[in-house]
């Protein structure tokens, strides 16, 4: 039986751990249960999907991914000051909170509260992993055509 690599459109199952440079785990499959998805549908960033396509079932690899291949560089133009009056009065806005904001097109995007006082709120709309070097450990568990 030949070993084949997964291709776009295949349903695959993987076990993975996504870590920062310092070893802090930011995401992982839980309880050793694999995650199943269709390759090529954008569930993973493109770089990770291309690395998965290099694997055969049972193989495990660690890939180092820089910001240019991952979640991009931090962009200070994605940090906004907003008046506190734009938040609901009953909302207890605090530094570190992640809040969903509606865009003009109707999408919801997460923003992290960086600073706040009675009048102003500074919100960071960069992806939390933007500008970070990451280590992606992945094991290909199965491939279904």
pLDDT tens-digit series, residues 49-104: 999 999 999 999 999 999 999 999 999 999 999 999 999 989 999 999 999 998 88
Question: What is the fold, at CATH topology level, of the domain defined by 76-124?
Answer: Thrombin, subunit H (2.40.10)
Reported as type and span, the H/E element at residue 113 is: strand 108-116
Contact 4, 143 (CB under 8 A): yes
Per 3-state DSSP, what percentage of the chain is helix, strand, and coil (rounded to 5)? Answer: 10, 40, 50
Residues of the chain with CATH 3.10.50.40: 11-71+129-144
Q: In CATH, what class is 11-71+129-144?
A: alpha beta
Share of the chain above pLDDT 70, in %: 98
Mean pLDDT of 33-61: 93
Mean pLDDT of the chain: 92
Q: Residue 111 has which token pair?
A: 């923003």
Helix (H), strand (E) at residue 13: strand 11-20
């Amino acid at each position: 039986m030949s070993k084949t690599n997964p291709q776009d459109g295949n349903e695959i199952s993987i076990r993975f751990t996504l870590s920062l440079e310092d070893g802090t785990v930011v995401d992982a499959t839980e309880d050793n249960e694999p995650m199943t998805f269709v390759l090529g549908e954008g569930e993973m960033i493109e770089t990770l999907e291309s690395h998965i396509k290099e694997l055969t079932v049972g193989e495990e690899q660690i890939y180092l991914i820089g910001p240019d291949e991952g979640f991009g560089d931090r962009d200070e133009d994605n940090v906004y000051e907003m008046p506190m009056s734009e938040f609901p009065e009953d909302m207890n806005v605090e530094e570190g909170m992640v809040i969903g904001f509606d865009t003009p097109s109707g999408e919801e995007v997460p923003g992290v509260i960086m600073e706040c006082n009675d009048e102003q709120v500074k919100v960071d709309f960069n992806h939390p992993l933007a500008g970070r070097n990451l280590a992606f450990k992945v094991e290909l568990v199965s491939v279904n055509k």
